[in-house]
Amino acid sequence: MSPSLIALPPALPAELLTWILNHTAYPTTVLICKPRAAFLESLLASISSPDGPPAPNSPTSDDDLPSSPPNPTTDDTSDPSRSKHPLLLKTLHQISVSRHISLIYIPTVSHYRAYVSVLPQPSKVSAPPNRTWEKKGDKKARLIVYGLVELHRNTSEWSAQGLGRSLAGLVEAGSRDGRGVVCLEEGMWEQNDEDLEDEGVPMLNGSVRRGGLGDEDSGWSGRTVEVGRIFAKWFKFGKAEW
């Protein structure tokens, strides 16, 4: 059975986990392509400021002050659960599905390729009861890779050759067990989703970057190819569901 191969737009860590809990099939294996401490730091930041980056401190004017003190009986903050991000609430749904989700932290490209080459079999634990499926094929076990492109950046594997090798190994791992495979990058504040797909990488490993005073003068020597074209060889591009 050939796996479904989908590349999704970037997502913040909180968006990723919420999407996994609400929309993905089980069992799900998530490869986080960064150290655990770095991912938890990013997750905390995205939970603390879900609508955008923290605003810089600025003087408070009289217009910014409330006209009357908050009513403790009607203020939203009187209920602690209202001020919490949904991921911080231990709902029955989260408890029931957490045993079907495996998070694996991948610090380097070498670790990633080694793990993918010996990817364990999906868990045999059955999916949670009364699970509804929004799309055809969602009942497949799923393998999600978060931050694969960024994992290659500033390494000797930052090239079409290096990315292609990593993606080919991922496709092979998915096909062995018929898993659905999803790739996406970590979202950044004020980031254009199109920037990453259009970013050019050198064709071969070990290419040399040209020096220059500005962005137009610097770049890679030799031919380059867009990241989106590398993914398009195997993956279909989907829309964000967050």
* Res 230 pLDDT > 70: yes
Q: In this structure, is residue 168 part of a structural domain?
A: yes
Q: In this structure, is residue 97 part of a structural domain?
A: yes
What's the confidence (pLDDT) of residue 127? 58
How far CA 205 is from CA of 48, 154, 159, 166, 167, in Å, comes to 39, 11, 5, 13, 15
* Nearest in space to 31 (alpha carbons), one of 115, 126, 149: 115
Position with higher pLDDT, 27 vs 66: 27
Residue 127 contacts residue 97 (beta carbons within 8 Å): no
Query: How far apart, in whole angstroms, are the C-alpha atoms of residue 178 and residue 82?
Result: 40
What's the confidence (pLDDT) of residue 177? 84
Give per-residue pLDDT as tens, 64-103.
Answer: 444 444 554 444 444 544 467 777 777 776 776 777 889 9
Give per-residue pLDDT as tens, 127-147.
Answer: 555 555 555 546 678 899 999
What's the confidence (pLDDT) of residue 125? 61
Position with higher pLDDT, 23 vs 133: 23
Number of domains in the chain: 1
Q: In this structure, is residue 91 part of a structural domain?
A: yes
Q: In this structure, is residue 149 part of a structural domain?
A: yes
What is the average pLDDT across 119-124?
76
Q: Could you tell me the residue range of the domain that residue 37 belongs to?
A: 5-48+82-126+135-237
Read off the pLDDT band of 5 (50, 70, 90).
Answer: very high
Query: How far apart, in whole angstroms, are the C-alpha atoms of residue 221 and residue 219?
Result: 7
Q: In this structure, is residue 112 part of a structural domain?
A: yes
Q: In this structure, is residue 55 part of a structural domain?
A: no
What's the confidence (pLDDT) of residue 162? 95
* Res 52 pLDDT > 70: no
* Res 16 pLDDT > 70: yes
* Maximum alpha-carbon separation in the chain: 67
What's the confidence (pLDDT) of residue 25? 74
Q: How many CB atoms lie within 10 A of CB 104?
A: 16
Residue 28 contacts residue 62 (beta carbons within 8 Å): no
Q: In this structure, is residue 219 part of a structural domain?
A: yes
Question: 98-112, 166-180, 208-222, 226-240: which has the minimum mean pLDDT?
Answer: 208-222
Position with higher pLDDT, 177 vs 71: 177
**Exposed / middle / buried, residue 224 (Cβ in 10 Å: 0-12, 13-18, 19+):** middle
Q: In this structure, is residue 147 part of a structural domain?
A: yes
